[in-house]
């Protein structure tokens, strides 16, 4: 634990520091302080993390239909008084419906991880398999005839699987070829995902993409649990400033967690009990971050909780090697630290080699204090083989609608209109609560002196009883005095029509706001479960639903990116486990426990390189189009039911349609062959039926044809003999000419050799003569003898002169 003075305003430490400095606790504390200052500083009245977290909490409340109702009360209150409002304040769950529609729609489309090996060994195996299949395809007719005549099967593969065209060959390699190592890698990745319950993580990721607009997953390696894939709540997640929707250029990530004080010993086993108590007191005094369990306020029962910042920081490391040259000329690299600097020497028996690579450090800091619990170089960093100097960050995130630091989401778009819907709903309650039933008005003067003829009195009660039972009323047009009676209709119905108009207006406003939600999200009536228009055609409804899927396709792509990156990271980590971990064999058995034959292949995964992609099941619209094509082909006798089953089993619609076209073309050729066979059979039948009537003429024609054939045969033989004779004559001429040419070349060659020998001999004579003359000239200069005429002396005279000269010397 390191606890110097807290520096809230300091920046990030020097990136060009040495590796030893970067490994120091002081360096890690500076990183933690810089991150805390960037995200948790409250100098301006609020922190960046607090604002983002508050926004995410707000969106999640709306997504659950549990948003606060105080804002609605303030809208309807009179001078802050709501004592006269007897309303149901429960929010209308409009947004949860749309969230469920999108999230469940994504979850209904199954996804599977597919792997293709791209290393040289696997590529060679794939190409060899394709070449063998192509050889069978090109020689299919010949190999089939050989098999029919001799019974020898010379095909490399099953004859039924051999394609008939290049398109079918490509389709075969895409659908049916699967190397064992690829199967092993797929099983390994799926096992890792299942162990970590990734289906639940994926559902939460999809929901975050819809509600918050951002999602995050963390991958790591634990010596006990192996590869771990954990969901990260975006409420507690922080990152370096970026404009990349996939956060690829971020150089730090962090996650805020509330843990019990007993967990500190697991993070840093070197902490003493007194240090743990000190940390607990420091953390309890700091209440600026609240409780990360959602309540926002700590109580006395939470004194044991400590808010920690888990962060990862990217920097670079200088990998240095001392390369020593041995006496036999070989070289031996020895790893050194970056401070290694070999002295200059004349022999230069060793040199320094280095390169810089990306590395990630991980640390744990107590928020609100200057206490750093952990700072270490991250172990088992994920490094793709194609870019060894790069390291994949431990946090994988996606925010498709990230712009200028703001993250948009479907829920954020719906919130203003959901508020208006809630207010409209409350207004409807107000209007309905103030509505009174229809009544009647009774004019008592109109009931006076009314005689029913049965001696009974006609009072208001009797009049109402007659009115409600019969709908009739008795009145007087004139009074007893003979004057006009203004109350001749003593009972009149009272209707309250004002509330009905208000209700209709509010309902129109409610529908308007609902249509605005559909407009801003793209989730129309054809997709949100609303009763479709009975006058709309089925095709138009499907088109509307398809357009709605297009409007939310970015959410699907965001989730697919996370899944793909998780699968890639798991693939790299599996290779590291099998290559470096002590329990590689146990891990391989755990993955291959349901397929013992594949364990051997799994043990060699680290020797290969893979390309990982996600295959997603087609949606209902794509399935419907494919099914329509299948039914049309079956009805046209271009496919059978078995072929349709094969096409439906392919999840990739592009490959499914390609297979559909191949099967249709193949069946069309087969139908043409059958038709041609029927035509040939009918032709043969017609020929046989006419043979009996024209037997003689046919024989005559056959004899004539045979004679002409014999004549042509004799002519052909004569021409052939003539050609052979000419060929033999030409051959002899060519041989004689060739022999004559050889003799001429031999004569020319011999003459050239003689001339060359003569020239060489003459050259030797001249050389000897020049040497002799040179020697005599030297002797003449030494002795001072008179000049000698070399042109008149013969060789014998020269010899005698040399002897005389020698005697003079003595």
Query: In a 10 Å sphere around its CB, with 0-12 CB exposed, 13-18 middle and 19+ buried, how is residue 747 labelled?
Result: exposed
Query: Residue 24 in 3-state DSSP?
Result: coil
Contacts of 93 (CB under 8 A, 6+ apart): 65
| Residue 56 confidence (pLDDT) | 94
Residue 396 pLDDT:
94
**Assigned domain for 794 exists:** yes
Helices 641-648, 620-635: inter-axial angle, 10-degree rounding: 160
For residue 583, the model assigns a pLDDT of 59
Which pLDDT value is given to residue 745? 82
- Strand 252-260 relative to strand 610-616: parallel, antiparallel, unpaired? unpaired
Select from 29, 21, 22, 369 the least CA-distant residue to 10.
29
Q: Is residue 780 in a domain?
A: yes
Residue 641 has what pLDDT?
Answer: 76
Tokens, residue 457:
């009195």
Q: Which tokens go with 642?
A: 């078995």
Cα–Cα distance between 635 and 626 in angstroms, integer? 14
Tens of pLDDT, residues 325-342: 776 666 667 766 666 676
Phi (first) and psi of residue 222, to 5 degrees: -120, 135
For residue 306, being part of any structural domain is answered with no
Q: What is the pLDDT of residues 10-23, one digit of tens each?
A: 588 888 888 888 88
Asked if 359 and 377 touch (Cβ cutoff 8 Å), the reply is yes
- Tell me the H-state helices in 446-526: 460-470, 498-521
Compute CA distances 65 → 57, 94, 98, 584, 740, whole Å.
12, 7, 11, 48, 110
**240 phi-psi bin (left φ>0, alpha ψ -120 to 50, beta other):** beta
The alpha-helical segments, DSSP class H, found in 371-497 are 410-434, 460-470
Domain tally, the chain: 1
**In-domain check, residue 788:** yes
Tell me the pTM.
0.69
Long-range Cβ pairs for the range 634-638 (8 Å, 24+): 637/667, 637/671, 638/663, 638/664, 638/667, 638/668, 638/671
* Confidence (pLDDT) at 731: 82
Range of the structural domain that residue 769 is part of: 729-810
Mean pLDDT of the chain: 77
Please indicate, yes or no, if residue 360 is contained in any of the structural domains.
Answer: no
Distance (Å, rounded) from C-alpha 555 to C-alpha 705?
80
586 inside domain: no
In a domain, 766, yes or no: yes
Locus of tokens 């008592």:
444
- How many angstroms separate the Cα of 548 from the Cα of each of 207, 553, 616? 18, 9, 18
- H/E run at residue 231: strand 226-232
> What is the number of other CB atoms lying within 10 angstroms of the CB of residue 374?
17
Given this model, what pLDDT does residue 799 score? 53
Cite the beta strand spans of 342-475 per DSSP E: 350-366, 372-377, 395-398, 402-403, 406-407, 439-442
In angstroms, rounded to a whole number, what is the distance separating the alpha carbons of residues 583 and 577?
8
| DSSP 3-state percent helix, strand, coil across the chain (nearest 5) | 55, 15, 30
How many whole angstroms separate alpha carbon 354 and alpha carbon 409?
Answer: 46
- Cα 155 to chain centroid distance, Å, stands at 38
Q: Decide if 51 contacts 384 (C-beta within 8 A).
A: no
Element housing 53 (H / E): helix 48-64
Classify residue 101: in a domain, yes or no: no
Q: Which residues are paired to 231 by β-bridges?
A: 217
> Chunked in runs of 10, what are the mean pLDDT values of the chain (810 residues)?
42 84 91 90 73 92 91 82 80 90 80 79 81 83 82 80 79 77 81 88 93 93 79 93 91 90 83 83 59 42 76 86 69 68 62 78 88 87 67 91 89 93 89 76 71 69 77 74 71 71 88 89 68 45 48 85 89 71 64 56 62 73 74 77 75 72 75 79 76 69 80 81 82 83 83 80 78 77 69 53 51
**N- to C-terminal Cα separation, the chain:** 108
**Between the CA of residue 234 and those of 37, 57, 88, 215, 253, what are the distances in Å?**
19, 10, 33, 6, 11
d(CA 159, CA 154): 10
Judged by phi (left if over 0) then psi (alpha if -120 to 50, else beta), residue 200 lies in alpha
């Amino acid at each position: 634990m390191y606890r110097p003075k807290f520096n809230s305003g300091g920046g990030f430490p020097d990136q060009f520091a040495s590796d030893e400095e970067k490994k120091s606790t002081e360096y890690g504390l500076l990183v933690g302080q810089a991150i805390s200052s960037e995200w948790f500083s409250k100098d301006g009245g609020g922190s960046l993390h607090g604002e983002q977290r508050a926004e995410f909490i707000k969106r999640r409340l709306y997504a659950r239909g549990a948003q606060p109702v105080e804002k609605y009360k303030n809208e309807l209150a009179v001078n802050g008084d709501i004592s006269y409002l007897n309303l149901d304040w429960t929010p209308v769950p409009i947004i949860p419906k749309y969230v469920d529609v999108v999230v469940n729609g994504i979850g209904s489309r199954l996804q599977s991880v597919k792997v293709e090996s791209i290393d040289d060994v696997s590529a060679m195996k794939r190409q060899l398999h394709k070449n063998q299949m192509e050889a069978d395809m090109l020689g299919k007719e010949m190999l089939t005839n050989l098999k029919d005549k001799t019974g020898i099967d010379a095909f490399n593969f099953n004859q039924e699987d051999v394609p008939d065209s290049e398109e079918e060959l490509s389709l075969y390699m895409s659908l049916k070829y699967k190397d064992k190592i690829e199967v092993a890698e797929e099983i390994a990745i799926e096992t890792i995902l299942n162990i970590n319950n990734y289906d639940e993580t994926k559902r939460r990721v999809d929901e975050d993409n819809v509600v918050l607009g951002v999602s995050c997953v963390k991958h790591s390696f634990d010596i006990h649990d192996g590869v771990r894939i954990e969901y990260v709540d975006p409420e507690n997640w922080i990152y370096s400033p970026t404009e990349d929707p996939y956060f690829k250029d971020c150089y730090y990530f962090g996650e805020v967690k509330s843990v019990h004080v007993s967990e500190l010993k697991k993070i840093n086993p070197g902490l003493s009990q007194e240090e743990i108590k000190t940390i607990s007191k420091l953390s309890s005094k700091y209440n600026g971050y609240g409780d990360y369990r959602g309540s926002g306020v700590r109580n006395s029962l939470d004194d044991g909780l400590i808010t920690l910042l888990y962060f990862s920081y990217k920097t670079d490391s200088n990998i240095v090697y001392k390369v020593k040259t041995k006496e036999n000329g070989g070289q031996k690299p020895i790893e050194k630290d970056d401070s290694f600097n070999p002295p200059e020497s004349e022999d230069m028996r060793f040199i320094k080699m280095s390169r810089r690579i990306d590395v990630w450090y991980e640390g744990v800091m107590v928020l609100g204090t200057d206490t750093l619990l952990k700072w270490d170089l991250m172990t088992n960093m994920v490094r793709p083989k194609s870019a060894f100097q790069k390291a994949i960050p431990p946090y994988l995130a996606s925010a498709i609608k990230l712009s200028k630091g703001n993250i948009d989401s479907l829920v954020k778009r719906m919130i203003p209109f959901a508020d208006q819907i809630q207010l409209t709903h409350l207004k409807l309650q107000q209007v309905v609560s103030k509505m009174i039933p229809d009544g009647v008005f009774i004019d008592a003067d109109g009931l006076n002196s009314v005689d029913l003829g049965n001696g009974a009195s006609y009072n208001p009660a009797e009049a109402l009883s007659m009115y409600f039972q019969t709908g009739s009323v008795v009145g007087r047009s004139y009074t007893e005095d003979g004057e006009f009676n203004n109350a001749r209709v003593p009972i009149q119905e009272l209707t309250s029509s004002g509330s009905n108009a208000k209700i209709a207006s509010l309902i129109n406003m409610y529908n308007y706001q609902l249509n605005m939600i559909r407009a801003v999200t793209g989730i129309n009536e054809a997709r949100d479960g609303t009763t479709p228009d009975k006058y709309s055609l089925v095709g138009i409804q499907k088109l509307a639903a398809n357009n709605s899927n297009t409007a939310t396709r970015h959410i699907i792509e965001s989730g697919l990116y996370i899944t793909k990156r998780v699968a890639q990271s798991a693939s790299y980590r599996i290779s590291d486990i099998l290559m470096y971990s002590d329990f590689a064999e146990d891990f391989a058995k755990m993955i291959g426990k349901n397929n013992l034959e594949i364990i051997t292949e799994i043990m060699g995964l680290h020797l290969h390189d893979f390309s990982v992609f996600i295959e997603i099941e087609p949606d209902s619209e794509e399935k419907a189009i494919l099914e329509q094509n299948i039914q049309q082909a079956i009805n046209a006798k271009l496919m059978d039911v078995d072929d349709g089953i094969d096409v439906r089993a392919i999840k990739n619609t592009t490959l499914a349609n390609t297979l559909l076209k191949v099967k249709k073309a193949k069946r069309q050729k087969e139908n043409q062959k059958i038709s041609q066979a029927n035509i040939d059979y009918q032709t043969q039948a017609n020929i046989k039926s006419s043979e009996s009537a024209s037997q003689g003429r046919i024989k005559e024609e056959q004899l004539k044809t045979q004679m002409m054939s014999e004549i042509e045969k004799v002519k052909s033989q004569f021409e052939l003999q003539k050609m052979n004779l000419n060929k033999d004559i030409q051959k002899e001429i060519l041989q004689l000419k060739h022999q004559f040419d050889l003799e001429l070349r031999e004569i020319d060659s011999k003459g050239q050799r003689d001339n060359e020998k003569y020239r060489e001999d003459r050259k030797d004579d001249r050389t000897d003569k020049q040497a002799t003359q040179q020697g005599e000239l030297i002797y003449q200069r030494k002795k001072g003898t008179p000049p000698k005429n070399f042109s008149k002396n013969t060789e014998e005279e020269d010899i005698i002169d040399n002897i005389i000269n020698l005697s003079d010397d003595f």
